[in-house]
Amino acid sequence: MTEDFLGRCRAIVGAASVLTADAEMAPYLTDWRGRFTGRARAVLLPATLEQVAQLVAACAGARVPIVPQGGRTGLVLGSVPDASGAAVVLSMRRLNRILDIDTVNRTITVEAGAILQQIQDAAAQAGLLFPLSLAAEGSCTIGGNLSTNAGGTAVLRYGNTRDLCLGLQVVTPAGEVWDGLRGLRKDNTGYALRDLFIGAEGTLGVITAAVLKLYPQPKASTTALVAMDSPESALALLSLVQDGCGSSLTAYELMSDFCLRLVGEHFPHLPRPFARSHAQYALLEVSSSESEAHAVGLLEGAIEAALEGGLADDAVVATSIAQSTSLWQLREHIPLAQASAGKNIKHDVSLPISQIAAFIAATDAALAAAFPGCQVVCFGHLGDGNLHYNVAPMAGVAHEDFLVNQAAINRIVHDKVAAFDGSISAEHGIGALKRDELQRYKDPVELNMMRAIKGALDPLGIMNPGKIL
């Protein structure tokens, strides 16, 4: 049966686009962080919508599970197959075209395999902005961004990927094509099917193209790094800056002192803006549609008020693009510094913004009591309530030895998240890594509705099995 099925796949896309040799498939089978390697009966490389539809129909006919895959930059094992070898990987990397840019409607239509940075560049060449920005933008695909409802650094002003999408094209689990590529801001004609597929991690169908919103390019933006004594001060500063800058506040990132010390240790060439250490730091970006002077004035005015009011201990305002880039590099190198330091236990959580300081204090204390000396790497998008709350080993403890505590540490962190009315996944998704955790923390009524949707759209259960549910 396998050879008959693969023969049909070869007839659809050509023999060169059906990979079955171990060496050929290897790059598609291991997750981004190198923690897990699955198995597959083949990796399929369609180049057109029609080929995707025909391949999915062939899989449905043969009851072969499908793992849709974009840039494979996810962190929750959502885009790699399991160890059974039953599934095929459906890579979207060849569907990578920019299909249309409408400068009047301010939309861009792209195929799912388009790299995020490619979309940003295409928008910029048209004099517009596609504001989704995240660390993996040079390799992640928009299909993956949509499937996980990716966040990034500009959510505060522009929203998650779901907020940036107007229309989708999707191949259903039966191999049918839903053409919802409409660039409409208003379309009140029934269920919002688009929103079902965004964030579904490929469990309901295969996103093949999307219509995305574009925005005016800001005339100027400026960046500042502010030092303070506590997360409480960071929250108070956020309110102050929001009051003073309004929608011009594009990003507000929180970083602990331990984060910056880790970056300094592994990337000593990066700047050290302050003469002494401070407990917390906030990285702010303000953009203006008027002028650089307007952006600088807004930011400096807010920081001056923070310093005078005792919310901030010190601050550095970038005076050039190079300085702004350097400040952002401090934030962007935190995950790289963690990787250089060794393995750690990661948590991508969201909380009501007002509860973040209390959550950090309570969770820090609970971890210190249970695992004395463990090191918390806490940073994230404070402006939208998203923390990356990672736990590293005690000094002198081997990382592999520490990882045996993952379940216990997850329980402490996620129980605290639930206690503060938060979510155990903010922007990374559920995948296979957090599937069991979802069952523990998700409302049973919500889970039943999700299962009903899954059963209705994918009755054979072939779409990315073992992920989310």
pLDDT digits (tens, 9 = 90+) for 406-463: 999 999 999 999 999 999 999 999 999 999 999 999 999 999 999 999 999 999 999 9
pLDDT digits (tens, 9 = 90+) for 134-154: 988 999 999 999 999 999 889
Q: Report the alpha-carbon distance of residue 344 to residue 358 in Å, rounded.
A: 23
Q: Report the alpha-carbon distance of residue 152 to residue 163 in Å, rounded.
A: 13
**Residue 427 confidence (pLDDT):** 92
Q: What percent of the chain has pLDDT over 70?
A: 100
179 SS3 class? strand
Residue in 117, 108, 161, 157 with CA at minimum distance from that of residue 135: 117
Task: Out of 3.30.465.10, 3.40.50.300, 3.20.20.70, 1.10.357.10, select the CATH number for domain 98-216.
Answer: 3.30.465.10
DSSP string, 48-61: SHHHHHHHHHHHHH
Q: Report the alpha-carbon distance of residue 238 to residue 222 in Å, rounded.
A: 16
- Second CATH level (architecture) for the domain 220-335: 2-Layer Sandwich (3.30)
Distant-in-sequence, close-in-space partners of 136: CB < 8 Å, separation ≥ 6: 71, 73, 116
**Residue 371 confidence (pLDDT):** 97
Tally of CA atoms within 13 A in the half-sphere of 340 that contains its CB: 13
Q: Is 274 exposed, middle or buried (0-12, 13-18, 19+ CB in 10 A)?
A: middle
Tally of CA atoms within 13 A in the half-sphere of 467 that contains its CB: 32
Residue in 22, 393, 457 with CA at minimum distance from that of residue 206: 457
| CB-based contact 44:89 (threshold 8 Å) | yes
Residue-averaged pLDDT of the chain: 95
pLDDT digits (tens, 9 = 90+) for 70-80: 999 998 999 99
End-to-end CA, the chain: 28
On the question of a common fold for 220-335 and 342-429, the answer reads yes
| Phi, psi angle pair for 228, to nearest 5° | -150, 175
Q: Report the alpha-carbon distance of residue 417 to residue 411 in Å, rounded.
A: 10
The residue with tokens 């006919």 is 61
SS3 per-residue string spanning 394-436: CCCCCHHHHHHHHHHHHHHHHHHHHHCCCECECCCCCCCCCHH
For residue 319, pLDDT beyond 90 = no
**Range 269-293 average pLDDT:** 90
352 SS3 class? coil
- What number of other Cβ atoms are within 10 A of residue 376's Cβ? 19
**Residue 300 confidence (pLDDT):** 87
Edge to edge, the sheet with strand 348-350 lists 314-317, 220-228, 280-288, 249-256, 375-381, 386-392, 348-350
Buried residues in 127-160 as b, exposed as e (16+ CB within 10 A): ebbbbbbbbbbeebbbbbbbbbbbbbbbbbbbbb
The residue with tokens 């053409």 is 179
2-91: CATH topology is 3.30.43
**Model confidence, pTM:** 0.93
Q: Where are the beta strands (DSSP E) in 186-340?
A: 206-213, 215-216, 220-228, 249-256, 280-288, 314-317
> How far is CA 102 from each of CA 108, 116, 163, 164, rounded to the nearest angstrom?
6, 18, 18, 15
pLDDT digits (tens, 9 = 90+) for 406-419: 999 999 999 999 99
pLDDT digits (tens, 9 = 90+) for 358-384: 999 999 999 999 999 999 999 999 999
**Range 8-34 average pLDDT:** 95
Assigned CATH for 342-429: 3.30.70.2740
Band (pLDDT 50/70/90 cuts) for residue 1 is low
| CB-based contact 347:338 (threshold 8 Å) | no
Distant-in-sequence, close-in-space partners of 120: CB < 8 Å, separation ≥ 6: 130, 132, 133, 137
User: Residue 232 carries which side chain, given as an amino acid letter?
Assistant: E
Q: Where are the domains of the chain?
A: 2-91, 98-216, 220-335, 342-429
**Residue 233 confidence (pLDDT):** 96
Distant-in-sequence, close-in-space partners of 268: CB < 8 Å, separation ≥ 6: none
**Residue 289 confidence (pLDDT):** 82
- Residue 141 tokens read as 């695909």
pLDDT digits (tens, 9 = 90+) for 266-279: 999 998 999 999 99
